[in-house]
Structure 1
């Protein structure tokens, strides 16, 4: 790895693109960047940034039910956040210290984030997790 971030674009299912554009989520504003020190998620107006040392693991998952993953979502089961643009597959990244992402005030804090990037296996491998669901 280097100080230059590796960027993973989100995968966009055609059916959900129009609704996502309305909330500011489009290919130019949705990506995950990873470098030696940081993990940064940008999903339209939402951002999550944490140190790589806060990443406990990453696992590929999916396919998902669209109503559970499309858009910015808060899981009522575990408090995790999802940033979804595709129901096909994604990566769940687990954090040692929960991080803010959905609200500008920094609350709630999330123990995990699911992102539906175009290459979930590569992102999971980079973050030290298995690349198979």
Structure 2
């Protein structure tokens, strides 16, 4: 894999989460994580988070399970740390921490998130891809 590749990581949808997400325009076609040579780009229905990879401070696997009511449907804000969760299954995902918090949840960008959790199909591959990209950039 070269450092200039664009890698797309689809979300893994469970049946219950897929039904809860549908009213918010979140489908397999509208939910993905893209890692390119210099950017992390997360699309989740109407929500979008984009940041330079050099803003990524850490990336780690997160174990589930996640509580359905706290994670199903739209993007969710953590009241504990202002992190944002984009969840499509209860089993687990990847947590990405940022050096400088970034907007994603509200259209006015008043809330800035220090981290984002995503429930992609291949969480270990996403962790590996981001870490390799960070190592390649210095």
Superposition deviation, residue 105 in structure 1: 1.1
Aligned length: 129
CA deviations over 1:53-97 (Å, ceiling 9, x no partner)? 000111111212222322310000001000111111100000000
Match of 1:113 among 116, 122, 130: 116
For normalisation by structure 2, the TM-score amounts to 0.88
Match of 2:107 among 104, 109, 112: 104
Aligned to 1:77: 80
Q: Give the unaligned 5+ runs of structure 1.
A: none
Cα distance in 2 for partners of 1:2, 1:56 equals 18
Distance 1:19 1:70, change over 3 A: closer
CA contact (8 A) 1:62 1:87 kept: no
Cα distance in 2 for partners of 1:117, 1:108 equals 24
CA contact (8 A) 2:20 2:72 kept: no
For the aligned residues, what is the CA RMSD? 1.3
CA contact (8 A) 1:70 1:84 kept: yes
Aligned to 1:12: 13
Q: Give the unaligned 5+ runs of structure 2.
A: 133-138
CA contact (8 A) 1:9 1:27 kept: yes
